[in-house]
Amino acid sequence: MEKQEIRTFGRRHGKKLSARKQFLLDNILPAFLPKNIKNTGNLILEIGFGNGEHVRDLAIRHPDSIIIGAEPFMNGVAALLSAITSESDNQILQEYKNIRIWPDDVRKLLHDSELKFSEIWVLHPDPWPKARHEKRRLLNSDFLKLLGTFLDTNGQIIIGTDHWEYFDWIVNEVKKTSLYASFPPLSVIHTRYAEKNMAETDTPKYLVLTNQ
């Protein structure tokens, strides 16, 4: 990631964490960092996982894949760690052994990386609705082009948002790339932001991007 890249997320820290969550961040998170990952198995990336509901769903639906979740908001990282470890001994729960966590800007993970993903998910990306904040929108054409280079042969970028104005804006950004867009009906679990439905729209809209 270039040092001067514009910040696309809000705060990194929220309200004070419980003792258990702070313990998990300090002691358990290092075991989940995506180190020494090779392209030998199937890899799935979720960008901006929030509290991690969909990362957990992916882990269960794809037990033979490695799921990498990227999220710079540490309260969200702590929430995911709390949900995938046992409360009694903080050991990772069996069904979540395939999760890895990148607790930072995804662009730093991708910088210099040679990883290839079968799926890259972005659910309810920050819409930055004010005109003066538009430059903070993550899913601009340059970033979409970059994501396209991280797809494996039949890989897909799956984007969902209930903010329809941002959706249309993304569709327009896609037109500046060589990616192909389709709009299949998708059934995706409700994440925290899907529940919040801050845009007060009827339903999230989904977009799938491929290189061919």
Ligand X SMILES: C[S@@+](CC[C@H](N)C(=O)[O-])C[C@H]1O[C@@H](n2cnc3c(N)ncnc32)[C@H](O)[C@@H]1O
Contacts 24+ apart (CB under 8 A), 34-37: 34/66, 34/68, 34/100, 34/101, 34/102, 34/109, 37/66, 37/68, 37/100, 37/115
**Cα 121 from Cα 197, distance rounded (Å):** 18
Binding to ligand X, residues 26-85 (CB under 6 A): 47-50, 70-73, 76
Report the residue number, 98 or 191, with the smaller CB distance to ligand X: 191
Report the residue number, 10 or 154, with the smaller CB distance to ligand X: 10
Per-residue interface string for the shown chain with ligand X, residues 91-130, x marking contact by CB under 6 A? --------------xxx---------------xxxx----
Residue nearest to ligand X (CB): 48
Asked if 201 is part of the footprint of ligand X (rule: CB under 6 A), the reply reads no
**Cα 12 from Cα 15, distance rounded (Å):** 10
Which listed residue (115, 164, 192, 211) binds ligand X by CB under 6 A?
192
Binding residue count for ligand X, defined by CB under 6 A = 23
CB of 136 to ligand X, least distance (A): 8
Catalytic residue among 126, 142, 168, 202: 126
Q: DSSP of 144-211, one letter per residue?
A: HHHHHTTEEEEEEEEEEES-HHHHHHHHHHHTTSS-EEE---------HHHHH-TT--SS-EEEEEE-
CB of 48 to ligand X, least distance (A): 2
CB of 212 to ligand X, least distance (A): 26
- Which has the closest alpha carbon to 9: 76, 56, 63, 58? 76
Q: Are strands 205-210 and 180-182 parallel, antiparallel or unpaired?
A: antiparallel
CB of 80 to ligand X, least distance (A): 11
Asked if 206 is part of the footprint of ligand X (rule: CB under 6 A), the reply reads no
Map tokens 């991690």 to a residue.
52
Report the residue number, 97 or 111, with the smaller CB distance to ligand X: 111
Q: Examine the residue annotation and report whether 112 is marked as an active-site residue of this protein.
A: no
Contact in structure between 39 and 114 (CB atoms under 8 Å): yes
Which listed residue (9, 23, 42, 145) binds ligand X by CB under 6 A?
9
DSSP secondary-structure letter at 25? I
Residues with a known catalytic role: 126
Q: Which residues bind ligand X (CB under 6 A)?
A: 8-9, 47-50, 70-73, 76, 105-107, 123-126, 138, 191-194
